[in-house]
Every structure is written in structure tokens, then in C-alpha cells.
Amino acid sequence: MIREFTYEALPMRVVFGAGAVRRIPEEAERLGIERALVLATPQQTALAGTACDLLADRAVEIFDRARMHVPVETVAAAAAVAADRGADGCVAIGGGSTIGLGKALALRQGLPVLAVPTTYAGSEMTPIWGLTDNARKQTGRDPAVLPRSVIYDPELTLPLPAGLSATSGLNAIAHAVEALYAPDASPVISAMAERGIRGLAGSLPTITGDPADIDARSAALQGAWLCGACLGATTMGLHHKLCHVLGGVLDLQHAETHAVVLPHVAAFNLDAAPDARSALQRALDTTDPAEGLAELAARLGAPGSLAELGVTDADLPAVIEEVLASPYTNPRPVSREALERLLHAAVHGGPTVAT
Ligand code: NAD
């Protein structure tokens, strides 16, 4: 039986291709950006310099202090530079942290964002913003923060280390897995999710063996785009809730947490989501998608347990309380006992458990 659905396309412009970074000036011009503030992390200052050189007199300054989780102090500092230099738009070149800073500036000052992602996190495809104040991360949705244009250049992902490529790619797969059983799933999103997962699962093992393989990098980045679009269009469930809480309460690295937790949540949820299970069976070429995800993570050398990230059993009660305290959608109701079992298996790297 075909379920009822509502599908609303997000107004995204995507430019994809090896060498597409050279189209930054053209895209900035299309958006009417004449005085761009170029955003980056301190690790990607040289790349920001390349963007600046390409933009020539369309760039006014580089702000290379983007940080994980978008601290409000960083946003205030970037906003001051933008105001001081009369910036009329941002070029955010980097991973989710840099694009998150661009979104924060869009929220605060209405600056249009041209995003040039260099990881597989997918933030560029979503109207979701995040801000951290006093160690508390707040998130929300606002169409104003959606980048107006996105340039995907697989060549920019070549320096992404094998380990980060693996965990970032698994993070992207997690968006698509949860989109498959989201209450607001639709045929368009499900098709994108399946294709995105297949693209990433097929290319990530090649990338961890040879990070300079441009064909695999292209396939992975295309997969990341599709998975990011899934995140932007649907409501995430238990997996994203758990990762958000684990990251917030225990200050864990974002992508690694996703890599560990995903197979456990898939095992728990897929019995209640038969269409999602079928799509994952096709995308991963396996009869058991939860095990397929665990095997993929192991093959990629991703951490296999939360213990490897420093989590102990003693950390779990606070996490469980916070997960149970606020509602979220999920195909299966989540009891305290089920959460305890799931998290215990995730901490110790035990087999995925369906009940
Ligand atoms: P990141 O942006 O924090 O980058 C991690 C590190 O890798 C940084 O030092 C960065 O400079 C470096 N790096 C990035 N690309 C590189 C490349 N090609 N080569 C070499 N080094 C590179 O990591 P991330 O995983 O992309 O983003 C994580 C953040 O994004 C989290 O805060 C998460 O909450 C957020 N996020 C938000 C959304 C959303 O929709 N709002 C979606 C996904 C992730």
C-alpha cells in the first residue's frame, strides 16, 4: 500500500564536478555577492586563500576561526568582521563546522551563503542551524540558513584523511537510513536515500585504501549530497537523538559517534520499518542491513565501540535520562530497558540487538 506523503522541495542550486571550485566567482556573482567574507577552520586557511584568490576583488576578508559546534563567541567575532568589512555574503569552504558558522551568520545578519563542502557531513543541504552557548548546543530549523548555492568539488576532498572520510561517510549514511523510516519520508527522498547509501557504501572502502582515488571521491561526494538532502527534508529519529545527546553530555566527536551507534539503532528499528529494511538490503547488498552497516564500519577502520571513544557504563544513566526527557519521532517506541540494552551493546562493541 502506498502511504500518504507530502513533499516540499528545498530551493537548492548544486554545482558538482572535479575542478568546480573554480566556479566560486560565477556562483557568488549569481547570488549578488560583491563583498564576500570567506569562512574556514584554522586547518583550512590555505584553502580559504584559494577561494579568496578566485574571488579576487569580490572577497573582503578571510575569517578562519570556525570551530566545532558553532560557539556563540565565534559567531559574534565573525559577525563583527563581516560588519566591519561591509560583507554582503559568505563563502563557507570546509566541513560542517565551517558551514555551520555560515548558517549562523545567515540567521543573525541575513547574509546569503555559498557553501563549498569538503567533508560528507551534509550540513549544506539542510535548513538546520546549531549554536553552542555555555556548553549547551541549541538547534533549530529556519529556511533563511539554507545555503543559496552549493559547489561540490571532489578534488577538495582528496586531502580528507582516510579515518575522517570513513566516519564522515558513515555520518552521511546515518542521515539517509533515518530518512528511510522518517514520518515525512516520500518516494523522492527514499530514492535519494537508497542511491546515496549505495554510492557511499560502494566508494568508502576504496577511499580508505587510496584516499587519492578521484572516481571513488566523486561517487562518495555525490552520495553525501543525496544523504544530506535526505537530512534536510525529513525528521530524524532515535539515532540522531542519541548521537546529539552523547555528543552534548560527553563531548564526543560527532562523526565517530554516528559510526558506532548506527548499526545498533538500525538493528533496533528495522523490524518496525519493513520498507526501510528492503531499501537498505538493496543499497548494501545484504539480507541483514544492521550487520551490513557494522561490517562496513569495521572494514573502514571506524571505531567499533563507544568505549573506544572514552565512554564507560557509568556515563550511560545521564545519557538515558536526557534521551527519555524530550520527545522525538521513531518507528518503534523506545523504553528505558531497550535504551539500556542498545547503549550497553554500543559501549562494549557487542553484536547489534533487535530487541
Ligand atoms: P568539521 O567541519 O568539524 O571538520 C573536521 C576537521 O576536518 C576540521 O579541522 C576541518 O578543517 C578538517 N577538514 C574538513 N575538510 C577537510 C578536507 N577535505 N581535507 C582535510 N581536512 C579537512 O567536521 P564535519 O564532520 O564536516 O562537521 C561536523 C559538524 O557539522 C558538527 O558540529 C555537526 O553537528 C555539524 N553538522 C550539522 C548539520 C546540519 O544540518 N546543521 C549536518 C551535519 C553535521
Q: How far is the CA of 69 from the centre of ligand 1 (A)?
A: 9
Atom in ligand 1 nearest the alpha carbon of residue 137: 34
Please work out whether the CB of residue 126 comes within 6 Å of at least one atom of ligand 1.
yes
Question: Are 36 and 28 spatial neighbours (Cβ–Cβ below 8 Å)?
Answer: yes
Say whether pTM exceeds 0.85: yes
Atom 34 (ligand 1) nearest CA: 69
The C-alpha atoms of residue 189 and residue 125 are separated, in whole angstroms, by: 13
Pick from 112, 125, 119: which is nearest to 97 by CA? 119
Does the beta carbon of 211 sit less than 6 angstroms from any atom of ligand 1?
A: no
Name the residue ranges covered by the structural domains of the chain: 13-157, 162-348
State residue 100's pLDDT score.
98
How distant, in Å, are the alpha carbons of 43, 211, 319 from that of 160? 11, 8, 31
Domain 162-348 in this protein, CATH class: mainly alpha
Sign, CA torsion 248/47/153/13:
positive
Per-residue pLDDT of the chain in tens (355 residues, 90 and over written 9): 778 888 988 888 999 999 999 999 999 999 999 999 999 999 999 999 999 999 999 999 999 999 988 999 999 999 999 999 999 999 999 999 999 999 999 999 999 999 999 999 999 999 999 999 987 778 899 999 999 999 999 999 999 999 999 999 999 999 999 999 999 999 999 999 999 999 999 999 999 999 999 999 999 999 999 999 999 999 999 999 999 899 888 888 888 999 999 999 999 999 999 999 999 999 999 999 999 999 999 999 999 999 999 999 999 999 999 999 988 899 999 999 999 999 999 999 977 776 6
Look at the domain 13-157 and name its fold: Rossmann fold (3.40.50)
